[in-house]
Structure 1
Amino acid sequence: MKTAYLAHSDGLAHVTPPGHPEQVARLQVIATALSGARQEGLLREEAPEAPDAEIRRCHPQAYLDRIAAAIPQAGWAALDGDTHLSPGSLEAARRGVGGCLRAVDMVLSGEAANAFVAMRPPGHHAEAETPMGFCLFGNAAIAAKYALDHHGLSRVAVVDFDVHHGNGTQALLWDDPRALFVSTHQMPLFPGTGARAECGAHGQVLNLPLPQGSDGMAMRQAVEDAILPALEAHQPELLILSAGFDAHRADPLAGLDWETEDFAWITDRLCAAAGTLCGGRVVSTLEGGYDLAALAASVAAHVDVLMQRSAR
């Protein structure tokens, strides 16, 4: 089996104001990084649009209607100081959710060994009724709920290694004992959540904040000492990755010092755990990463590991 790669040109239609770090070029450099020789190892598919019924697994209809009503006919509409809408934003966001759902279908059916969803806007900051941090819909959380409720899984895990805490994913999964949420992130940093004391309604949330300036070795220790034991204890039937690449030392929005090789390492360790626990079933969805060269290199390293694991 191959690694599924889900993307769509609608991701380029979510246009942010000039100078905004969450820009169209992010998907363009990823597409280039995953072309050429890597193309042979990928099962490419267009990300479909998710209908309201699927997005309502985490967001009420009133919120969906409010986002739709805020879409401008031209230019931009600001939802907050960081989060903007353009005429193509809703379709892009729907395909971000839809790509994750299709990836879950492909991996659970055995059509693909694992999957990477390269869509934007990202999702892990979106709360049930609050867009924030560049995010509109909780892609990873919706995918987790879909795997549990549509596919009938008993347990899933979401591991978020974006440099910013996934407050939205945490909030959307807070009350669900079937969903383990684990996050490594810089702290203090936006959005200000992610303390170790935030443990979920059923003790199924694990936050591992890292201090500014810490490098990949600190992350590796957190993985070995805390994340892998948490996965072992939870016994997930599917592993979802919120794959942010803004912990890279070159990223302009934060202050961790990971190298490209660290993203390959964490991907490999998590895929190895998935191989033991859930038949290697991994769905990865793009979150942050705002230095374009570092993003391209780190995504390539991440997907290379997924492809290597899918070929075993």
Structure 2
Amino acid sequence: MTTLLISHPSSLEHQTPEGHPERPDRIRAVEAALEDERFALLQRVEAPEATLAQAELCHPAHYVAAIAAASPAEGLVGIDADTTMSPGTLSAALHGVGGAIHAVDEVMAGRAANAFCALRPPGHHAERERAMGFCFFNNAAIAARHAQRAHGAGRVAVIDWDVHHGNGTQDIFWNDPSVLYASLHEMPLYPGTGAPSERGEHDTIVNVALRAGDGSEAFREAFDIAVLPRIASFAPELIVISAGFDAHWRDPLANLKLRESDFAWATRALMELADRHAGGRLVSILEGGYDLEGLAKSTAAHVGALMRG
């Protein structure tokens, strides 16, 4: 078995306004980085398109229907100040859901060692009933819930190292003792949630707030002290990573100072826990990352670590 890379051309068809940081070039940068010969052994497949019903794993039917109805025939439609739909957005978002579900299916069935979904738009800001922060459907949350519903996973851990707090994932799992959500993020920063005091109804929400200027040492110490022991004690049967790379020092939307080696280190740490508790089962889903060079190098480091390189 090897690492499964899931992508789809629809990711390039989700258009955003001129100058918008969440743009098709992000996927082009990721794909170019993963064309390097060291990634020759990746198992590469195209994401299937999810049904609207599959998006309802974490979103109510009326919300999913409203997103579908908002899809424009031409031009751009604003969902909020940051989040817009183009004619290609709905298909891209549904391929994001489909890719996450397919990754879980392949990893849970033992046909892939682990998986990385190189798809956009991102998802972790999408709450149960609200699209925001460039996000429409919460791919990581749907992956976790699909593992439970389709494969009988009792406990799933979602680890989010995007520099922005995943308010959507927290909203979806706030009352759920069967999913551990752990986020390391910069504060204060968009969307303003993610204080350490936000712990969920069952103490299964772990928020680690980093400060502007924090770099490798602070990140690794927080990961070691606040995140890894909680995952270990939770003993998940699957680990899902919301893999945003906007904590990289080059990123224009935040102020942390991580390097690509930090993402590789965190990946290996989570793989060790997956090996110990989850039979190695791990699915990673692209979130943010808006400097193309930082995104490309960080993704390469992350996927290289997934391949046990």
Superposition TM-score, scaled by structure 2 size: 0.98
- In the TM superposition, what are the counterparts of 1:247-258 in structure 2 within 5 Å? 247-258=247-258
Matched, 1:84 2:87: no
Counterpart of 1:261 in structure 2 is: 261
Cross-structure match for 1:179: 179
Task: Report the CA distance between 1:66 and its aligned residue.
Answer: 1.1
**How far is the alpha carbon of 1:148 from its aligned partner?**
0.9
Distance 2:5 2:112 in 1: 10
> What is the aligned partner in structure 1 of residue 218 from structure 2?
218
Aligned counterparts of 1:271 and 1:5: Cα–Cα separation in 2: 17
Instruction: Report if the CA contact (8 A) 2:165-2:190 is conserved.
Output: yes
Q: Secondary structure at the match of 2:50?
A: coil
CA deviation after TM superposition for structure 1 residue 19, in Å: 0.3
Q: Residues of 2 paired with 1:209 and 1:268: CA distance?
A: 22
The AA in structure 2 aligned to 1:228 is L
Q: Which residue of 1 aligns with 2:52?
A: 52
Q: Counterpart amino acid of 1:213?
A: G
Distance 2:285 2:217 in 1: 24
Partner of 1:291: 291
Q: Could you tell me which residue of structure 2 aligns to residue 24 of structure 1?
A: 24
| Whole-angstrom distance in 2 between the partners of 1:201 and 1:55 | 24
Asked whether the equivalents of residues 39 and 304 of structure 2 are also in contact (C-alpha less than 8 Å), the reply is no
Structure 1 residue 128: Cα displacement: 1.0
- Report whether the alignment pairs 1:161 with 2:129: no
- How many Å separate the matches in 1 of 2:207 and 2:6? 29
**In structure 2, what is the Cα distance between the partners aligned to 1:49 and 1:168?**
22
Alpha-carbon shift at residue 51 of structure 1 (Å): 1.1
How many residue pairs match? The answer is: 309
Code of the aligned partner of 2:202:
H
Residue number in structure 2 paired with 1:308:
308
Gaps of 5+ in 1: none
2:137 aligned partner: 137
Q: CA deviation at 1:39?
A: 3.8
User: Equivalents in 2 of 1:64, 1:273: separation in Å?
Assistant: 34
Post-superposition CA distance 1:77-124 (Å, at most 9, x none): 111110010000000000101100000000010100000001100000
Give the % identical residues: 53
240-249 or 59-68: which moved more? 59-68
Aligned residue type for 2:62: A
Give the match for residue 126 of structure 1. Answer: 126
Q: CA RMSD in A?
A: 0.9
Alignment deviations for residues 193-215 of structure 1 (CA, whole Å, 9 cap, x no partner)? 00011101111000001011100
What's the counterpart of residue 98 of structure 2? Answer: 98
Question: Are 2:55 and 1:64 aligned?
Answer: no
**Of 86-95 and 28-37, the range deviating more from structure 2:** 28-37
> Letter of the aligned partner of 1:221 in structure 2?
E
Deviations 1:242-268, CA, capped at 9 Å, x for gaps: 000000010000000101111111111
Cα separation, 2, equivalents of 1:174 and 1:187: 20
Aligned counterparts of 1:40 and 1:31: Cα–Cα separation in 2 = 13
Alpha-carbon shift at residue 36 of structure 1 (Å) = 3.2
Residue range with higher mean Cα deviation, 282-291 or 172-181: 172-181
User: Partner of 1:182: helix, strand, or coil?
Assistant: strand
> Match for 1:189: what amino acid?
L
Between the aligned partners of 2:263 and 2:153, the Cα distance in structure 1 is 28
The answer for the alignment partner of 2:3 in structure 1 is: 3
